[in-house]
Amino acid sequence: MTAPREIAERKKEFLTTVDGTVVKRVYTPNDVVGVKEEDIGLPGQYPFTRNIMPAGYRSRLWTMRQYSGFGTVEETNQRYKYLHKQGQTGFSVAFQLPTQQGYDSDHPLSVGEVGKCGVAIDSLKDMEDLWEGIPLAQVSVSMTINATAAIILAMYIAAAEKQGADISKLSGTVQNEILKEYVARNTYFLAPEPSIRLVTDLCSYCSQKMPRWNSISISGYHMREAGATAAQEVGFTLSSGISYVQAMLAKGMEVDSFASQFSFFFAAYTNVLEEVAKFRAARRMWAKIMKERFKARDPRSMMLRYHVQTDGFTLTAQQPLNNIVRVTLQALAAVLGGCQSLHTNSYDEAMALPTEQAVQVALRTQQIIAFESGVADTIDPLGGSYFVESLTNEIESKATYYINQVDKMGGSLKAIEQGYIQREIARSAYDYQRQVDSREQVIVGVNEYRLENEPETEMLEISEEIEQKQKERLKKLRNERDNQKVKATLEKVKAVAVSNENIMPALIDAVKTYATVGEISAVLRETFGEYREPSVL
């Protein structure tokens, strides 16, 4: 008998991502001996590894929700109507950076930023015009807003009321997730403690008045964008989730009264099978955390419901059409993983905000996966794959390690204050960059297969005139509103801020007098102090 011939492989080691999960040549039943049958289970059943819904996408497809917003409310309103006409099934608002950080469009720090990364919203007037012709009672709206989430949700509620909508029936999401802002996304203006108070005030308000609203979207996406590995993304995100549950319990709330309104937000990278395993692991872990650690009884409290955005960092400015293929693979991973809603990036987003044509291709990508690929016709089609099950377990065990580390430090907030999470992520990011620079990690069109001359790509331009237009709008508003009333409601906000009362009703009253984001934030800054972070390299 001859010995089996040694077959040379093209790499010394095959790894999933930067943290170095080694991928074997082939997986066999031996790799899943440790996997318990009940840990895989069935869709709709605890621990929901395969899907939270018993019929998955066979009953209802994921929500196709493109994150969008730029310029003035009129331009964004037009883009929304366009997307709706193209078959988008939910809206997702991108706010300009001043709105996200509690500045009005005429603040000195807003120079150059107005309408750039999102739509300019200074007051309720802007919010009303944003939804002109779109009935809020009938649509689902997600808003990426964090530090100023309570103010913006107050505006949304007031705008919906003006349209005649029943607030208790509104459906949508506010991101309202401040912890990851200190780690990665960096739009905060108050210290962590008062910020978390605002977060939990909003959550408890929603649990009482808006049962169909996702009061928080606990986010791993931005940590992944900042460089986290798949396992770090799961570990640190679920740690944040644990911290928010604890904060709500500390407010005296009962776990099953709010937990079903918690939602999550993850990234999808191009390594398809690793991402699928990641989503499966996250679902199983959250179910167990809620049941075993927090003693939830309602299965809905244990279900990890999440939005996915394909990963922006993976988009290349070089040969941008290649991004369509990347986004397709990432979206496929999100769907095979069982997401509840999905945003697909546009191919031109490494260079600018997307053009209408680029957004259309991105939305069509989802529609092709939904209606042509067949992958949505059965639930968790990769479940039972030796490799995917084994990788699901591996990600679970690595992510559990990070949760334990964070627990040992006394929770997410402490771990962030000590710079632990930031350092872990920065290290992964740097390692990855080194791998790309040394071409261990090939990025097509960037470090291999480059073009000598990149052709010009058509890009969306945001005019600098928008800033002037928005400033004039704001000036007019300040002249026309009843400034006595504004002053009185702002004083009320201040009084409530220093008390233990829920701040939402006072904010709703304030925005109704057309008090601006900047004015209300100024009251909060005055009350709690402005926060500046130590820079962790």
Smallest distance, another protein to C-beta of residue 175, A: 14
488 binds another protein (CB under 8 A): no
H/E element, 266: strand 262-268
Smallest distance, another protein to C-beta of residue 117, A: 5
Query: Which of residues 138 and 438 has its CB atom nearest to another protein in the complex?
Result: 438
Q: How far apart (Å, rounded) are the C-alpha atoms in residues 482 and 289?
A: 50
Candidate list 63, 92, 101, 207; residue touching another protein; CB under 8 A: 101
280 binds another protein (CB under 8 A): no
Please provide residue 382's backbone torsions phi and psi, each rounded to the nearest 5 degrees. -95, -5
**Neighbouring C-beta atoms of residue 196, cutoff 10 Å:** 19
Candidate list 375, 447, 478, 494; residue touching another protein; CB under 8 A: 447
- Tokens 């079903």 correspond to 260
Query: Which of residues 272 and 350 has its CB atom nearest to another protein in the complex?
Result: 350
Question: In Å, how far are 112, 122, 123, 207 from 470, measured between CA atoms?
Answer: 12, 9, 11, 35
Omega cis (within 30) before 47: yes
233 binds another protein (CB under 8 A): no
Q: Residue ranges of the alpha helices (H) in 299-382?
A: 299-302, 322-337, 356-371
Please provide residue 191's backbone torsions phi and psi, each rounded to the nearest 5 degrees. -65, 160
Q: How far apart (Å, rounded) are the C-alpha atoms in residues 147 and 381?
A: 39
Q: Tokens at residue 433, please? A: 């960059």
Candidate list 89, 257, 316, 405; residue touching another protein; CB under 8 A: 316
Phi-psi region of 56 (alpha: psi -120 to 50; beta: other; left: phi over 0): left
Smallest distance, another protein to C-beta of residue 131, A: 24
Query: Which of residues 302 and 517 has its CB atom nearest to another protein in the complex?
Result: 517
Smallest distance, another protein to C-beta of residue 269, A: 14
Say whether 153 sits in a helix, a strand or coil: helix
Query: Which of residues 222 and 283 has its CB atom nearest to another protein in the complex?
Result: 222
Angle between helices 517-528 and 149-162 (to 10 degrees): 140
Q: Return the range that interacts with another protein (CB under 8 A); candidates 50-58, 162-170, 311-319, 476-484.
A: 311-319
Query: Which of residues 89 and 441 has its CB atom nearest to another protein in the complex?
Result: 441
One symbol per residue from 343 to 372: x for binding another protein (CB under 8 A), - otherwise; what is it? -------xxxx-------------------
323 binds another protein (CB under 8 A): no
Query: Which of residues 373 and 433 has its CB atom nearest to another protein in the complex?
Result: 433
- Range 104-122 burial, b when 16+ CB lie within 10 A, else e: bbbbeebeebbbbbbbbbb
537 binds another protein (CB under 8 A): yes
One symbol per residue from 172 to 211: x for binding another protein (CB under 8 A), - otherwise; what is it? ---------x---xxx------------------------
Q: How far apart (Å, rounded) are the C-alpha atoms in residues 94 and 175?
A: 11
Q: Tokens at residue 399, please? A: 């992510």
- Tokens 């939990």 correspond to 200
Partnered with residue 93 across adjacent β-strands are 68, 143
**Neighbouring C-beta atoms of residue 185, cutoff 10 Å:** 21
Q: Tokens at residue 443, please? A: 């990025």
Between strands 262-268 and 90-94, the pairing is unpaired
Half-sphere exposure of 348 (CA within 13 A, CB side): 17
Say whether 172 sits in a helix, a strand or coil: strand
How many residues at the interface with another protein, by CB under 8 A? 46
H/E element, 186: none
253 binds another protein (CB under 8 A): no
Ordered strands of the 90-94 beta sheet = 213-214, 171-174, 140-144, 90-94, 63-68, 341-343, 306-310, 262-268, 216-219
Smallest distance, another protein to C-beta of residue 115, A: 9
Query: Which of residues 225 and 275 has its CB atom nearest to another protein in the complex?
Result: 225
Q: Return the range that interacts with another protein (CB under 8 A); candidates 29-37, 312-320, 469-477, 508-516.
A: 312-320
Q: How far apart (Å, rounded) are the C-alpha atoms in residues 338 and 52?
A: 8
Give the amino acid at 163. Q
266 with 180: CB under 8 angstroms? no
One symbol per residue from 427 to 446: x for binding another protein (CB under 8 A), - otherwise; what is it? --xx--x--xx-----x--x
Query: Which of residues 167 and 443 has its CB atom nearest to another protein in the complex?
Result: 443
Smallest distance, another protein to C-beta of residue 158, A: 25
Candidate list 126, 225, 275, 389; residue touching another protein; CB under 8 A: 225
Smallest distance, another protein to C-beta of residue 217, A: 17
Smallest distance, another protein to C-beta of residue 96, A: 9
98 binds another protein (CB under 8 A): yes
One symbol per residue from 110 to 149: x for binding another protein (CB under 8 A), - otherwise; what is it? xxxx--xx--------------------------------
Candidate list 83, 369, 415, 462; residue touching another protein; CB under 8 A: 462
Q: Return the range that interacts with another protein (CB under 8 A); candidates 48-56, 150-158, 219-227, 497-505.
A: 219-227
Q: Which residues of the shown chain bind another protein in the complex (CB under 8 A)?
A: 97-98, 100-101, 103, 108-113, 116-117, 181, 185-187, 225-227, 313, 315-318, 350-353, 426, 429-430, 433, 436-437, 443, 446-447, 456, 459, 462, 464, 532-533, 535, 537
